[in-house]
Chain A
Amino acid sequence: MSYENYLAGEPVIITAALTGGVQGKEATPHLPETPEEIGKAAAEAEEAGASVVHVHARKDNGERTFATERFQEIDDEIRRQADDVIIQHSTGGTGASDEDRHLPLRTDPAPEMASLDMGPMNRYDHLTSENTRGLVDSLHEEMVERGIKPELEIFNDGHMNETYGLLERRDLAEPVYGTLIFGPGTLTPPKPRNFINAIDNLPEGAQFNTLGFGRHQLPFVTMGILFGGHVRVGLEDNIYYERGELATSNAQLVERVARIADELGREVATPSQARDILNL
């Protein structure tokens, strides 16, 4: 994908990362945690232009859970409140066992998509989310069995190598769909030249999604739109609308990026168009 894809005016898929697995209502009261709140946030995000919602599960006190049953409750609420939005479960889980990491794939029906972290990421000062190749392969295997499209989360350039490694080890359904992630710490440094470089390094025929953390969310999704990619926004990655002003909802962040895509001449994909683009 490239600037030519932008010029061709191909539709842009907006993913709303509603909740995340790190922060909660202690960071912002607007972050949805319960199934009801997540269902409502998904419906509002879809209304604002999101065709995919990226979902993590929480207990009633906001703490993480990987239980299939909780993902099921959340999915049921999303389907009850939203129209046709594509559900993408996270399989991330710092500190969780490999077995727990598989649990989000086992809802009925299975999610149409699920994230697949391509390698390690440091958390806090004494913790690393390992994401071994063995785990990547076993998660991918179960996704194939259950008809789930993997969203490859590429935290940095090393993970781009890991993506090629996965392609050598496994047959991935086309198109390969990778999220390029920019921000602090283990992530790719958020510089435009790194963004261009990452796009150049993508496997032939891959579709890319663009994710910038914190204040990098808006400029990087704008670059994603301009370079023919897809974009992810949401309170998981950024809780502010402007400097010092909390975003009031996921939908508010989706609305803004949908408006930018429209101004830049790219149609915002409906869920049905997103299914076609991603071959779901």
Chain B
Amino acid sequence: MTCPFLEYRSEANNRQFDEPRAYCGAAEQFVQPMRADICNNRYDLAHDEHCEIYLEHADEVSAGNENGNETENTGQSAGDGA
């Protein structure tokens, strides 16, 4: 399950990208590709274990959101395929 703060955006903070990129709704900024793997719980990574931003904002997440009912997260949560 991906982080409830994760979104994929093509545009934010005066930046535009051809491909939607991982955007953190808690930090309100695009995230580094390495961190995006944490947001997506890829490999051996987990947002609720490895992301200090999530851990700081965890109390803002409702139980429903943390169970994957979020509406803002537009996806691309599949594994890396590597």
Stretch from A45-53, A54-62, A156-164, A255-263 contacting the other chain = A54-62
Is A126 within 8 A of B31, CB to CB?
no
Query: In the assembly, what is the distance between CA of A21 and CA of B35, in Å?
Result: 10
With a CB–CB cut-off of 8 A, which chain B residues contact A126? Answer: 49-52, 55
As a 0/1 sequence over residues 19 to 33 of chain B, the CB contacts with chain A under 8 angstroms (1 = contact) are 111100000011111
Count the A residues whose beta carbon is within 8 Å of the partner chain — how many?
Answer: 30
Query: In the assembly, what is the distance between CA of A22 and CA of B22, in Å?
Result: 13
With a CB–CB cut-off of 8 A, which chain B residues contact A22? Answer: 32-34
With a CB–CB cut-off of 8 A, which chain B residues contact A67? Answer: 80-82
With a CB–CB cut-off of 8 A, which chain B residues contact A58? Answer: 33
The total of interchain contacts (Cβ-Cβ below 8 angstroms) comes to: 86
With a CB–CB cut-off of 8 A, which chain A residues contact B43? Answer: 93, 95-97, 100
Chain B facing A: main interface SS: mixed
Chain A facing B: main interface SS: loop
With a CB–CB cut-off of 8 A, which chain B residues contact A59? Answer: 80
Stretch from A23-31, A136-144, A237-245 contacting the other chain = A23-31
With a CB–CB cut-off of 8 A, which chain A residues contact B51? Answer: 124, 126
With a CB–CB cut-off of 8 A, which chain B residues contact A97? Answer: 43-44
Interface residues of B in 3-48 (CB under 8 A from A): 8, 15, 17, 19-22, 29-38, 42-45
Is A95 within 8 A of B76, CB to CB?
no
Is A127 within 8 A of B81, CB to CB?
no
Q: A95-B42, A95-B43, A126-B52 are in contact. Are A63 and B82 (CB under 8 A)?
A: no
With a CB–CB cut-off of 8 A, which chain B residues contact A275? Answer: none
Is B49 within 8 A of A61, CB to CB?
no
The 5 A-B pairs at the shortest CB distance, nearest first, are namely A26-B30, A66-B82, A125-B52, A61-B19, A95-B45
User: What would be 20 A-B contacts, judged by CB atoms less than 8 Å apart?
Assistant: A23-B33, A24-B21, A24-B32, A24-B33, A25-B17, A26-B15, A26-B30, A59-B80, A61-B19, A62-B21, A63-B37, A64-B37, A64-B80, A65-B80, A65-B81, A65-B82, A66-B80, A95-B37, A95-B38, A124-B52
Please name 20 further chain A to chain B contacts, defined as beta carbons within 8 Å, in addition to the given A61-B76, A97-B43, sorted by A numbering: A23-B32, A23-B33, A23-B34, A24-B33, A26-B29, A59-B80, A61-B8, A61-B17, A61-B21, A62-B19, A62-B21, A63-B22, A63-B80, A64-B33, A67-B81, A67-B82, A95-B37, A95-B38, A100-B43, A100-B82
